[in-house]
């Protein structure tokens, strides 16, 4: 379990993290989201002892990171996949880490196989690795000690679609076995697919947190459904008569109603549906709504970035 308690980190007059508190539970994947410069990486660096807090604290399993005996056996981290000696091979990097943790050399072979780095790739020097290969090596390094907690900053960076799907299954399986996962990523769709809990941060402050279902339900407000039928005009008329807002969208309609209500209206009107889906806000909409004042770009319908603030 990771516990962040009133964490604050300042650099002179600039506050990178401002009185942040949250917890990551075992058996759950927690998505940690926010614009560039929002405070995600600073918070993760404090977690693993790379940055000292100004106030507050972070504990993992009840201990500060520097008080954990042989921390690599308990906490796996990936903050920067390129932060290794570029003249060493992937196998050498893992071998040194294994010896430091007191692990058998067979563990290195297991991790290389797990992340899909073959013998030829594992004996290349890091400087000759692609970004995706560095990410796979970084994930292998994080999992090497069979830790109970994973702290990962942008682990999908550089992975191809097959690699992203593989990582998704890996982390989900890890959490299902009781592990604690804190995952920071700009790939919002991936976070929405894998995360059980979500924490959104902007300007160093938590702007929303909770389980995925509750957060997205709050963003959706009134139910919205996207529907296409063989007779959109008749369906739209039936829905309007039922008191539901209807507007054209693409080849179909956007309706202020639940999918069940739309289905019942179609049945009553004798209209055949060809597509029916929930049209409520997703994670991207929630993210943009809650962090619009920290964004560099103006997002139509969401808001423009503030001026004169601290650069992200």
Domain regions of the chain by residue span: 2-74+147-217, 222-278
Mean local confidence (pLDDT), 263-288: 82
Q: How far apart are CA 36 and CA 256, in angstroms?
A: 34
Instruction: With a cut of 50, say whether residue 312 has pLDDT above it.
Output: no
Can you list the pairs that 79-83 forms with residues at least 24 positions away whose Cβ atoms lie under 8 Å? 79/41, 79/44, 79/45, 79/48, 79/50, 79/151, 79/153, 80/138, 80/153, 81/131, 81/134, 81/135, 81/137, 81/138, 81/157, 81/158, 82/126, 82/134
| Angle (CA) 78 81 85, round 5° | 120
H/E element, 10: strand 2-11
Dihedral in degrees, nearest 10, Cα atoms 49, 52, 57, 63: 30
Residue 311 confidence class, pLDDT cut points 50, 70, 90: very low
Mean local confidence (pLDDT), 155-181: 91
Residue 288's pLDDT is 72
Mean local confidence (pLDDT), 243-253: 90
Tokens 């890996």 -> residue:
170
CATH: 3.40.50.300, 3.30.360.10, 3.30.365.10, 3.40.1010.10. Which one for 2-74+147-217? Answer: 3.40.50.300
Please write the tens of the pLDDT for every residue from 98-141: 999 999 999 999 999 999 999 999 999 999 999 999 999 999 99
For the structural domain made of 222-278, what CATH number should be given?
3.30.70
Residue 228's pLDDT is 95
Instruction: With a cut of 50, say whether residue 216 has pLDDT above it.
Output: yes
The two three-digit tokens of residue 229, written as one number: 């039928």
| pTM score over 0.95 | no
């Amino acid at each position: 379990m990771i516990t962040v308690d009133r964490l604050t980190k300042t650099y002179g007059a600039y506050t990178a993290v401002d009185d942040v508190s949250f917890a990551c539970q075992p058996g759950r994947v927690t998505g940690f989201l926010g614009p560039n410069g929002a405070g995600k990486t600073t918070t993760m660096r404090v977690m693993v002892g790379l940055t000292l807090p100004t106030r507050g604290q972070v504990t993992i399993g009840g201990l500060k990171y520097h008080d954990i005996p042989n921390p690599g056996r308990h906490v796996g981290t990936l903050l920067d996949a390129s932060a290794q000696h570029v003249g060493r091979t992937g196998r050498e990097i893992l071998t040194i880490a294994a010896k430091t943790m007191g692990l058998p050399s067979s563990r290195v072979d297991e991790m290389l196989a797990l992340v899909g780095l073959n013998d030829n790739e594992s004996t290349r020097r890091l400087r000759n690795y692609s970004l995706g290969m560095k990410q796979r090596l970084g994930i292998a390094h994080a999992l090497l000690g069979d830790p109970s907690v994973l702290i990962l900053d942008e682990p999908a960076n550089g992975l191809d679609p097959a690699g992203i799907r593989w990582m998704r299954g890996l982390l989900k399986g890890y959490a299902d076995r009781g592990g604690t996962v804190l995952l920071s990523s700009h790939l919002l769709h991936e976070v929405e697919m894998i995360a059980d809990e979500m924490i959104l941060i902007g300007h160093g402050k938590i702007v929303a947190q909770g389980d995925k279902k509750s957060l997205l339900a709050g963003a959706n407000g009134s139910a919205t459904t996207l529907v296409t039928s063989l007779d959109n005009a008749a369906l739209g008329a039936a829905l309007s008569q039922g008191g539901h807002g209807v507007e054209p969208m693409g080849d179909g309609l956007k309706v202020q109603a639940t999918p069940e209500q739309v289905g019942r209206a179609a049945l009553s009107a004798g209209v055949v549906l060809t597509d029916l889906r929930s049209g409520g806000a997703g994670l991207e909409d929630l993210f943009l709504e809650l962090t619009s004042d920290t964004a560099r770009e103006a997002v139509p319908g969401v808001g423009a970035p503030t001026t004169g603030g601290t650069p992200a």
